[in-house]
Amino acid sequence: MTRTRSSSEIRDASRREIVRALVVQGTATRTELAHTTGLSAATVSNLVAELREAGFIADAGTDSAGTGRPTTVLRIDGEGGSFLGIDLAETYVRAVVFDAAVTEIGAANVEIDEEWVSVDSVADALLRAVDLALERGGRAPSDILGVGLGLPGLLSTDRAGTVATPGWAAHVGRLEDRVRPRLPGPLVTANPLQAVGHSEIWFGAARGRSSAVVVNLGTGVGAGIIVEGRVLRGATHTAGEWGHTVLELDGRACRCGRRGCVEAYVGVPGIRHTLSEVDPDHALLQLHQREFIEGLRDAVGDPPVAETLARTARYLGIALSDIVAVLNPEVMTLTGWTAWALGDALLPAARIALAERAPELTAARLDLGVSPVQVNSVATGMAVLAFENHLDSSALARRARSRPGPRVDPPGPSPTPSSAPQPVAG
C-alpha cells in the first residue's frame, strides 16, 4: 500500500508553496497567497508566522486598495539566508550563491580539463568555484544554509554509474565523499535533468502546471519530468534518460555504447554526424561542441546546414513525440545550449514532425517552446532544491532554535532529505 502523506509532509509541501509563491510574485498579501496556493487562510497565516520567525518573510508595507482595513503586504527577506547551487558539468564547474529571494549574488566558473583523470582535481575545481562565488557574493561559509550539487550522468543510491560520461562512472560517489565535509552547508544532490526540472517549476514553463517535461539539448540529451507538480526521480534516481531511448533500431552508434539512441541523432555529436552525412567535407566539421552549434546557427542559409537542421528537426520532433505519447504532458520546454542557439531554427519543423508522429490528441493541447530560464538553470535548480530541503520542518526547527545567535557551522547531523540519494552528513 502506498503510504499516505503524513501531516508533517503536507505542512512541508505547503510551506514550500508559500515561499515559492512569494519568491516568484515578489510581494503578496496573505489573502493573495491563499488564492495562489489553494491553501486555507488559517494555514497560510500559521505558516507565514513560522517563516517570519525563521527570518524568511518580512513586511513590505500595507495594501489599502480594498474596502476594508489595510492588509500587510509580505515579501521574502533575501537576508534570511543564502544557498549555493553548483553545476558540475563535463568541462566546467559553476558555483552560484543566491540569497533567500533566489537572487544571484555571486558566481564563479572554473574549467575542468576534459582529459582529467583525478577525482581530486575535480573536487579542487569545485571547491575553488565555491570559494570564489562566496567571495564575489560577499558571503561567509556560515551564511550558507544549504548546498545543491548537480552531478552529471546517472546517480543511484549505490552512487555509481553514468551513461553520458563513462569516465566518471566510478568517481561520482568518491567525489561526493570528498567534497561534502568541505562544503559550507548540508548537501543535496541530483542529476542535471532533475535540477532543470526544479528551475522550471519555480521560474520556467512548468510554473503552475501539473505536468511538464524539460528537454535538455547539449552534448548529451535528456528530460526532466514533472508529474503533479513534482520532479520525478525514479526508483534508482535515474528517471529522464530519454536520450538513450531508441529512435532507430540498430541505428547509429551512440557514445553510450548502444545503437540508435535519440542522443546519437540530436546530441551535438549526433548533429555533427548528420552534417557529415550531408557534406563530409563541410568546414563546420572542424569545430566542436558549442562552437559547432554556434557555427550552425550563424550559417542557416548554407544549404548543407539547412539540410542538417531539417533532418535534426525531424529526428527531434519524432523523439519528442515518444515522450508525448507516454506522458501526455501539458507543456514541454527545451533547454540547454543547443536549444538556446538553434531552438528558433529547429522548432517549426520539429513541431510538424511531432504533430504528425504523436498519437491523436496526445499533442492536441501541448505547449512546446524554448525555456525562458536560459542562465544557470542547473545551479538555480539545485539552489532551490537546497532551499526546499532547508524549509522542511526539522531543518527549520533547528534553525529557529539557533536564532538569533550566530549559526553554528558546520551544523549537526541532518536527516536525509527525501529527495537526496544519499544520507547527508553535516
Give min distance, CB of 306 to a second copy, in A.
21
Q: Is 9 or 131 the residue whose CB approaches a second copy more closely?
A: 9
Give min distance, CB of 13 to a second copy, in A.
6
Q: Is 19 or 127 the residue whose CB approaches a second copy more closely?
A: 19
Q: Is 84 or 231 the residue whose CB approaches a second copy more closely?
A: 231
Q: Is 103 or 210 the residue whose CB approaches a second copy more closely?
A: 210
| Residue 135, H or E segment | helix 119-137
Give min distance, CB of 283 to a second copy, in A.
28
Strands of 144-150's sheet, edge to edge?
A: 104-111, 92-99, 82-88, 144-150, 187-190
DSSP string covering 103-133, please?
A: -EEEEEEEE--TT---HHHHHHHHHHHHHHH
Give min distance, CB of 190 to a second copy, in A.
13
The β-bridge partners of 332 are: 213, 368
Give min distance, CB of 404 to a second copy, in A.
31
Q: Is 66 or 234 the residue whose CB approaches a second copy more closely?
A: 234
Burial 114-149 (b: 16+ CB within 10 A, else e): eeeeebeebbbbbbebbbbbbeebebebebbbbbbb
Q: Is 12 or 87 the residue whose CB approaches a second copy more closely?
A: 12
Residues belonging to the chain: 426
DSSP string covering 277-295, please?
A: HH-TT-GGGG--HHHHHHH
Give min distance, CB of 419 to a second copy, in A.
13
